[in-house]
Structure 1
Amino acid sequence: MNLVSRTLEIDVDTDARLREIASERGKDVATVLAEAVALLDSVIDLSGPDLAEDRDRYEEFKRTGLAVPLDDVKAWVASWGSANELPRPQPRKIK
């Protein structure tokens, strides 16, 4: 593996947490940072939003009036892992 030396300025709390995580895992801080970047890259698409898809979905909403209200989504997510987990909310006519 080719290594590059890079200097980063981070706050003391972040530094302390990085050192703590590294110690807990028996790794060095550079490895913890590399793993964090790999994880971030796997869950977030940094290439930018798909505006065409957003426009298509908005046009579909204007045509049908169907959507899932935010409060329904919040209630559904809040119920995850509970004994009373709610079913996935379904789109309905929105004014």
Structure 2
Amino acid sequence: MASSTSIKLDDDMKGRVRHLAEVRRRTPHWIMREAIAQYVEREEEREALRQDTLKAWEEYQGTGLRATAEEVDQWLASWGTENELPAPECHK
């Protein structure tokens, strides 16, 4: 179920939303809902990546296991070739 929420926009932004709505043949309401949905989705993905990064950092601090940038670069460069390499082993 959807509920009403209000947002205050300055005149310039309000005009920009209206103009975009006109050229896209949408309503200003649709433009704002779409913008908010895209923003929230993008920020949720960024937060998930941030959490994954923090978890990986904590794991590295606990174990010291890692692969060097050179090892990873060689592995990635081999993708799609006849001599595709396996993922590098983590080491200290």
**TM-score, structure 1 normalization:** 0.47
Q: Going by fraction, where is helix more abundant, 1 or 2?
A: 2
When you count strand as a share of all residues, which structure comes out higher?
1
